[in-house]
Amino acid sequence: MENLRLSQNDHNELEYQSGFGNNFESEALPGALPRGQNSPLICPWLYRIKPSVTHEPLKPRVPAHDRLVSEFDKTNSCAGIAQLRWMPVEIPNSSTDFIDGLYTVCGAGSSFLHHGFAIHMYAANKSMDNCAFCSADGDFLIVPQKGRLSVKTEFGRLQVCPGEILVLPQGLRFAIDLPDGPSSGYVAEIFGAHFELPDLGPIGFTIVQKFGGELFAAKQDFSPFNVVAWHGNYCPYKYDLSKFCPYNTALIDHADPSIYTALTVATDKPGVPLLNFMVFPPRWFVAEHTFRPQYYHRNCMSEFMGRIFGGNVTVDGVLPGGATLECCMTPHGLGLKTYDHHLLLQEFIHVAIKHALPEEFVYDYNSGSNGDGALIFAPGCQTNAAAFNMTLPRLQTNVAVDFNMALPCVQVHM
């Protein structure tokens, strides 16, 4: 995994500015960035070669994109309490770029009300040619699972590998090229808020803008990336997940899983986020007299989990590129094989064991304004899709009953 990431970065000649939430500045030519003021007489806002307003009127895109959802209710989705699972998405046979390969898996809330989120996945086999995309609905957090993304934005270029994440702020125009060919991955879109660190071409372009879950398009005769200078802190950024340092228990039991939070979307209630982006990298388990994997449990928040690395290794039936969804207060946990395997390891409770499974991430979300849990809707087109798989709960139905009143210590399930 690490060697793959290093070999990809060896070909990356881009230079990056470091820091999260810092004020940055950049200029294409010396003197392009004004000094001492933001809006001088001879430099238009954002210091473009040509103003971005000079395009044809936005009109509904034809053909319409019918797999994007931004308003989640019972008229277009189903709110199921069962555990859901999706197999890895297949790369389409027809020519498909990032825009047409993007589709909604689940979500909650409303982009028009500026509260909620949508979880998308994408599968593409071609670069975006003479086209730029932006979402007026919210920020994009992109997690590539297969293939690098070469992303051109109004603030410059970024190259994002599997094992890294990319955040594109609301309203930012961008285009995605595929240097490795076919690519797939995950996208979290946030309505009405932004991610933050937790307290812990000249030949003409088509601009495609997402608004209210629908796509609109406009033509313009210049590149949307004609920015020659900029400054501020509202800009895209990426993060290498291999640099995330996990913490763990040093003696017994488990720490609160919030220690794995890399990014969060805050609400007006302290301690109740709209969405957490959590990273579960390879790590050591050293706790004594402790069932070391996460045990069967229920949450007030819902969980959407994706897997990035691992080849064809399956963990409880979930392959890299696949996904699972556990809604608010739905019991979930290990599959039977994983459960039995770790029970057999209990005789080695004083031996450190490295959890070296494929790298995982979780979108942990709560659409309730008072922290009362999330009602997650999955569009019918996804629960009926060929990649949808409902076998996950069956992996847990045959867990043995270990309760025995004659023993001083018994195993109790949640």
Q: Which residue in 170, 291, 158, 180 sits closest to 237, CA to CA?
A: 158
- How many residues in the chain? 414
Structure-token match 């509260």, residue found: 115
pLDDT at 127 exceeding the cut of 60: yes
The SS3 assignment for 45 reads helix
pLDDT at 219 exceeding the cut of 70: yes
335-342 average pLDDT score: 68
**Of residues 82 and 357, more confidently modeled:** 82
Residues 6+ apart with CB under 8 A from 407: none
Question: What Cα–Cα distance (Å) separates residue 271 from each residue in 149, 200, 335, 370, 376?
Answer: 34, 11, 31, 11, 20
H/E element holding 7?
Answer: helix 2-10
Q: What is the DSSP string of 68-82?
A: ---B-STTTEE---S
H/E element holding 336?
Answer: helix 336-344
pLDDT band at 289 (very low <50, low <70, confident <90, very high): confident
| Token reading at 298 | 């229920």
The SS3 assignment for 319 reads coil
| Token reading at 209 | 């803008």
Q: pTM, whole model, 2 decimals? A: 0.75
pLDDT at 5 exceeding the cut of 60: no
Q: Which residue in 136, 133, 135, 166 sits closest to 149, CA to CA?
A: 166
204-219 average pLDDT score: 86
214-243 average pLDDT score: 86
Is residue 74 classed exposed, middle or buried when 0-12, 13-18 and 19+ CB atoms within 10 A define those classes?
Answer: exposed
Chain centroid to CA 142: how far?
A: 5
Is residue 6 classed exposed, middle or buried when 0-12, 13-18 and 19+ CB atoms within 10 A define those classes?
Answer: exposed
| Token reading at 17 | 């500015």
DSSP state of 257: G
Q: Are 326 and 80 in contact (CB under 8 A)?
A: no
DSSP state of 125: S
Residues 6+ apart with CB under 8 A from 245: none
Percent of the chain topping pLDDT 90: 22
- Write the pLDDT tens digit of every residue in 132-168: 999 999 999 999 999 999 999 998 999 999 999 999 9
d(CA 395, CA 335) in angstroms, rounded, equals 5
Of 151-155, 224-228, 238-242, 327-331, the range with the highest mean pLDDT is: 151-155
| Token reading at 367 | 């659409």
Q: What is the DSSP string of 70-115?
A: -B-STTTEE---S-EEEPPPPPPSS---TTTTEEEEEEEEETTTTE
Least confident of 16-20, 45-49, 119-123: 45-49
Q: Which residue in 277, 283, 278 sits closest to 265, CA to CA?
A: 277
d(CA 404, CA 414) in angstroms, rounded, equals 16
